[in-house]
């Protein structure tokens, strides 16, 4: 039945919430100390309507280094060891580029850019305006030539944000033969689950990429610094809840097991205690400090064991960072036809050539697009007139358009938010990614009966020993955001890639409030006001 894996996913998420225990926050000492660092801050706006200009390019020409403004137009750039006469270039596609000295920006940190849209008659070809749809189709036709296939090393800054908010939660106690899960306890669990959980994480490091689709290890990362702002939830209630579930689920004999059911759909639960011994009978320091247990829902015990081992390996800090970068690298390659259907399936869209402008010294077409028939997205593309490279794109879901959407047997899921902004810069004959912003949001609902059963294995039919039944109604919303800034990029050889050995023991600096000194001396994306005001509540 197709619904089965969906139910499992929802139930796994719910059990994970109530069995979750927050880890301790140990602040690492920053080993990279940079003294006498001076940072210049500023804000960029549209000169006409005074609206902010997000993701504007700010380049320090003397060092050929730059940053981008954040989603509300603010930026900060390191100007250490620079002269006040050094030039900073402010550029945004569709606007006139401004060159200002450091002294100019110190005197006035607010910059207004004027629009720069060339008239259509400047881009006519033999008296005719080019067809917008044909221009768009040439992007994929010229993709390999424009973006190339090469091994590279990139220095990147990646900011990840995540928010999960419970809009509604209600547990209706039906019956229980489990003494530790009385109606009072169920209400305590309901009240103990946090209404909102969110987190921020900044990553600065080098990425080594091998352009070989047949090599499973084609991406390696070399972290320089990682900072994580932990969410402000007080987890003391959840700790008590976890202890309750730990006592219930681990009190199981050899021939007994636990099962979770929703209607006719059910799956076994496997419990793994992380507090275990090594091969020689001695506990490692990491295990001593990790007295937790994990559950997994599935059908086959061998499959469960394998999946648990894989999950544990995949949840290491190194693999998590690598997976995020890998997913973004795959996304910006235009290969996913769902997210880039306006390039792959042009018949679903209407395109309009609205003008032309200059980007990084070359003319580009400005093309607006919107859904036609079953298209999902609306936005604006900037495509180079001579090479047909996609230089910049800003797009989102069109009006009354959404992504995945279903509501079946009390389980609902709707993808209702999707915003992307990307910019490529030409370097010699190849276009290189400079930044990518990707935001997604979805709503999930679950309104079904659920039971937790303890069973004993028998020859024909397993015997039910204990059970709790509740009606569960949950409505939650989650949003995720990724902002990637490429600070430097260079080609590397196959030998250089293979010789690089990554250090997989990543140390994360955990903090409970943003501090300006955290990234002092580094060029990063300026934090938003929300991040600066964020503070963990003890």
Check which CATH number belongs to the domain holding 108 and give it. Answer: 2.60.40.1120
Write out the two tokens for 486: 């490429």
Same domain, 112 and 236: no
> What digits encode the pLDDT tens for the residues 444-483?
999 999 898 889 998 888 898 999 899 999 999 999 999 9
**pLDDT score recorded for residue 293:** 53
Residue 412 within any structural domain of the chain: yes
Q: Is 468 exposed, middle or buried (0-12, 13-18, 19+ CB in 10 A)?
A: buried
Decide which of 67, 94, 116 is a domain's last residue.
116
126 pLDDT tier (thresholds 50, 70, 90): very low
Cα 224 to Cα 203: distance, rounded to the nearest angstrom: 8
Same domain, 212 and 65: no
**pLDDT score recorded for residue 533:** 61
Same domain, 56 and 14: no
Task: For residue 307, give Cα distances in angstroms to 252, 259, 312.
Answer: 21, 17, 8
Range of lowest pLDDT (260-274, 338-352, 409-423): 260-274
Cα 168 to Cα 166: distance, rounded to the nearest angstrom: 6
How many independent structural domains does the chain possess? 2
**pLDDT score recorded for residue 527:** 72
> What digits encode the pLDDT tens for the residues 44-94?
998 888 888 888 888 888 887 778 888 888 888 888 888 888 899 888 887
Task: For residue 501, give Cα distances in angstroms to 208, 217, 222, 312, 496.
Answer: 10, 12, 9, 22, 10
**pLDDT score recorded for residue 128:** 66
Same domain, 223 and 87: no
Report for 15-24, 413-422, 502-511: range of highest mean pLDDT: 413-422
- Residue whose structure tokens are 């008239």: 119
**pLDDT score recorded for residue 259:** 87
Same domain, 40 and 182: no
Give yes or no for residue 113 having a pLDDT over 60.
Answer: yes
Average pLDDT, the chain: 79
Same domain, 24 and 38: no
> What digits encode the pLDDT tens for the residues 168-199?
999 998 888 988 888 888 888 888 888 888 88
Are 223 and 207 within 8 A, CB to CB?
Answer: no
> What digits encode the pLDDT tens for the residues 288-347?
344 455 556 555 555 545 555 555 555 678 888 888 898 998 899 999 999 999 999 999
Give yes or no for residue 3 having a pLDDT over 60.
Answer: no
Residue 292 within any structural domain of the chain: yes
> What digits encode the pLDDT tens for the residues 216-269?
568 899 999 898 886 655 566 667 777 888 888 888 888 888 888 888 788 887
Buried b (16+ CB within 10 A) or exposed e, 415-444: eebbbbbbbbbbeeebbbbbbbbbbbbbbb
Are 162 and 442 within 8 A, CB to CB?
Answer: no
| 3-class state of residue 260 by DSSP | strand
> What digits encode the pLDDT tens for the residues 387-405?
999 999 999 999 999 999 9
Are 85 and 102 within 8 A, CB to CB?
Answer: yes
Give yes or no for residue 19 having a pLDDT over 80.
Answer: no
Torsion of CA 519, 522, 525, 530, to 10 degrees: 10
Decide which of 91, 116, 141 is a domain's last residue.
116
Task: For residue 233, give Cα distances in angstroms to 194, 246, 323.
Answer: 7, 21, 26
* Strand residues in 248-404 grouped as ranges (E): 256-262, 265-273, 293-298, 349-359, 362-371, 377-384, 390-397
Element (H, E) at 92: none
What residue numbers bound the domain in which 108 lies? 32-116
Task: For residue 89, give Cα distances in angstroms to 74, 101, 436, 530.
Answer: 15, 9, 20, 28
Are 137 and 346 within 8 A, CB to CB?
Answer: yes
**pLDDT score recorded for residue 20:** 40
- DSSP structural state of residue 357: E
Give yes or no for residue 417 having a pLDDT over 50.
Answer: yes
Cα 35 to Cα 128: distance, rounded to the nearest angstrom: 59
Are 34 and 520 within 8 A, CB to CB?
Answer: yes
**pLDDT score recorded for residue 384:** 94
Are 304 and 296 within 8 A, CB to CB?
Answer: yes
Q: Is 282 exposed, middle or buried (0-12, 13-18, 19+ CB in 10 A)?
A: exposed
Write out the two tokens for 415: 């993808």
Write out the two tokens for 94: 């569709």
Backbone angles phi, psi at 207, to 5 degrees: -120, 130
Same domain, 18 and 84: no
Decide which of 116, 144, 165 is a domain's last residue.
116
Give yes or no for residue 118 having a pLDDT over 80.
Answer: no
Are 182 and 212 within 8 A, CB to CB?
Answer: no
Same domain, 39 and 14: no
Cα 485 to Cα 472: distance, rounded to the nearest angstrom: 42
Same domain, 16 and 48: no
Residue 126 within any structural domain of the chain: no
Of the candidates 110, 89, 109, the residue with the CA atom closest to the CA atom of residue 99: 89
Residue 351 within any structural domain of the chain: no
Same domain, 80 and 195: no
- Looking at the DSSP assignment, which residues form a beta bridge with residue 328? none
| Pairing of the two strands 256-262 and 219-229 | unpaired
Same domain, 241 and 221: yes
Task: For residue 257, give Cα distances in angstroms to 102, 293, 307, 464, 529.
Answer: 68, 16, 18, 10, 49
Same domain, 48 and 24: no
514 pLDDT tier (thresholds 50, 70, 90): confident
């Amino acid at each position: 039945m197709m619904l089965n894996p969906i139910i499992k996913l929802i139930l796994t998420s719910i059990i994970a919430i109530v069995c979750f225990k927050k880890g301790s926050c140990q602040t690492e000492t920053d080993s990279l100390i940079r003294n006498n660092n001076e940072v210049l801050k500023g804000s960029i706006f549209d000169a006409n309507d005074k609206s902010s200009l997000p993701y504007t390019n700010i380049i320090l020409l003397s060092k050929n280094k730059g940053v981008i403004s954040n989603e509300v137009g603010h930026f900060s750039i390191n100007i250490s060891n620079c002269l006040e006469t050094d030039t900073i270039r402010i550029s945004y596609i569709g606007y006139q580029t401004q060159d200002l000295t450091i002294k100019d920006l110190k005197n006035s940190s607010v910059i207004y850019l004027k629009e720069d849209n060339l008239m259509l008659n400047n881009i006519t070809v033999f008296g005719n305006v080019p067809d917008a749809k044909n221009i768009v189709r040439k992007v994929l036709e010229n993709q390999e030539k424009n973006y190339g296939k090469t091994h590279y090393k990139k220095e990147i800054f990646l900011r990840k944000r995540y928010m999960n908010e419970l809009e509604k939660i209600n547990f209706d106690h039906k019956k229980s033969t489990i003494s530790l899960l009385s109606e009072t306890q169920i209400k305590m669990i309901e009240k103990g689950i946090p209404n909102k959980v969110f987190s921020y994480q900044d990553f600065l490091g080098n990425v080594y990429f091998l352009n070989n689709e047949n090599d499973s290890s084609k991406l390696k990362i070399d972290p320089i610094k990682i900072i994580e702002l932990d969410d402000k939830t007080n987890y003391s209630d959840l700790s008590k809840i976890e202890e309750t579930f730990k006592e219930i689920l681990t009190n199981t004999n050899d021939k007994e097991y636990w099962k979770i059911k929703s209607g006719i759909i059910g799956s076994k639960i496997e419990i793994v205690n992380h507090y275990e011994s090594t091969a020689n009978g001695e506990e490692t320091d990491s295990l001593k400090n990790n007295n937790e247990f994990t559950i997994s829902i599935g059908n086959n015990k061998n499959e469960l064991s394998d999946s648990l081992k894989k999950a544990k390996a995949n949840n290491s800090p190194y693999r998590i960072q690598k997976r995020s970068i890998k997913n973004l690298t795959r996304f910006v390659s235009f290969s996913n036809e769902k997210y880039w259907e306006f390039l792959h399936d042009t018949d679903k869209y209407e395109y309009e050539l609205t003008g032309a402008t200059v980007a990084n010294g070359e003319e580009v077409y400005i093309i607006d697009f919107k859904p036609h028939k079953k298209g999902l997205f609306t936005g604006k593309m900037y495509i180079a007139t001579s090479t047909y490279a996609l230089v910049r794109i800003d797009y989102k879901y069109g009006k009354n358009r959404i992504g995945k959407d279903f509501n079946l047997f009390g389980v609902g899921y709707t993808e209702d938010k999707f915003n992307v902004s990307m910019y490529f810069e030409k370097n010699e004959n190849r276009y290189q990614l400079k930044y990518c912003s990707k935001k997604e949001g979805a709503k999930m609902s679950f309104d079904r009966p659920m039971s937790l059963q303890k069973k004993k294995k028998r020859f024909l039919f397993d015997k039910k020993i204990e059970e709790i039944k509740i009606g569960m109604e949950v409505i939650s919303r989650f949003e995720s955001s990724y902002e990637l800034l490429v600070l430097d990029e260079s080609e590397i050889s196959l030998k250089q890639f293979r010789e690089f050995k990554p250090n997989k023991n990543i140390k994360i600096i955990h903090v409970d409030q943003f501090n300006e000194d955290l990234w002092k001396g580094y060029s990063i994306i300026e934090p938003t006001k929300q991040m600066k005001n964020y503070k963990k509540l003890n």
